[in-house]
């Protein structure tokens, strides 16, 4: 009997240990369906506060401009590792809300990402036009507030509903003696260059699981 129990116990311990090392650590649980039908909530941030991020050969100051909370469907996910921007914001998420988030409408729109941009194509017979899609989707450069938030962001899957909370921010810093900057959009009505959200994320909800 002992001969069969020991390997089983060791296997369970290995799975628990591996999950703890690779996946995010659960902070709390929140119930209720994630409603991705509404626009993101953005509130001006009045405090004179900055966060500091230090990476190899670089130091950055993060200035919050607005508190930001978004409930959306993940329409695309792209990871980046090159350059200082890849260290600061290692994941971009294309997020969609409103009618685009409804499962029966996903067949009408396709999203893709490349070089910190996102793109969409749509079928003209669908229930919305390019203007609607542009105003109800956005590419988000994710700056994780903690390592646990980063693990949670990396774990999200396309078509999954999420809630992210944090701040829209501007970034300034120095990398190998050179000054750099990165700014955020503060509206969902823009497009083209500088229209992406630079999103300092402090809280992630996936299904009913919350990570901070």
Give the three-class secondary structure for 3: helix
Nearest to 184 by CA among 31, 64, 90, 101: 64
- Digit-coded pLDDT (tens) for 83-117: 999 999 999 999 999 999 999 999 999 999 999 99
Confidence of residue 193 (pLDDT cuts 50, 70, 90): confident
Confidence of residue 22 (pLDDT cuts 50, 70, 90): confident
Domain ranges of the chain: 27-211
Nearest to 137 by CA among 108, 170, 166: 108
Distance of alpha carbon 188 from alpha carbon 195, whole angstroms: 8
Distance of alpha carbon 62 from alpha carbon 185, whole angstroms: 15
pLDDT of 10 above 90? no
In which residue are the tokens 């083209």 written?
192
Give the three-class secondary structure for 208: coil
pLDDT of 138 above 90? yes
Q: Within a 10 A sphere around the Cβ of 36, how many other Cβ atoms?
A: 21
Distance of alpha carbon 179 from alpha carbon 37, whole angstroms: 40
Distance of alpha carbon 12 from alpha carbon 26, whole angstroms: 19
């Amino acid at each position: 009997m002992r001969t069969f129990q020991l390997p089983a116990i060791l296997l369970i311990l290995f799975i628990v240990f591996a999950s703890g090392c690779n996946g995010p650590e659960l902070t709390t649980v929140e119930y209720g369906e994630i409603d991705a039908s509404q626009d993101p909530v953005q509130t001006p941030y009045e405090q004179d506060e900055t966060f500091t991020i230090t990476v190899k050969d670089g130091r950055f100051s993060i200035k919050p401009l607005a508190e930001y909370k978004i409930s959306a469907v993940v329409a695309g996910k792209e990871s980046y590792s090159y350059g200082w921007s890849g260290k600061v914001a290692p994941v971009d998420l294309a997020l969609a809300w409103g009618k685009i988030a409804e499962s029966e409408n996903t067949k009408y729109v396709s999203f893709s990402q490349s070089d910190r941009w996102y793109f969409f194509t749509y079928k003209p017979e669908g229930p919305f036009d390019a203007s609607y899609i542009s105003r109800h989707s956005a590419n988000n450069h994710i700056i994780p507030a903690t390592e646990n938030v980063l693990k949670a962001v990396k774990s999200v899957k396309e078509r999954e509903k999420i809630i992210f909370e944090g701040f829209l921010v501007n970034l300034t810093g120095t990398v190998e003696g050179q000054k750099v900057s990165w700014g955020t959009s503060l509206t969902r009505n823009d497009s083209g260059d500088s229209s992406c959200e630079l999103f300092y994320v402090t809280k992630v909800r996936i299904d009913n699981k919350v990570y901070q």
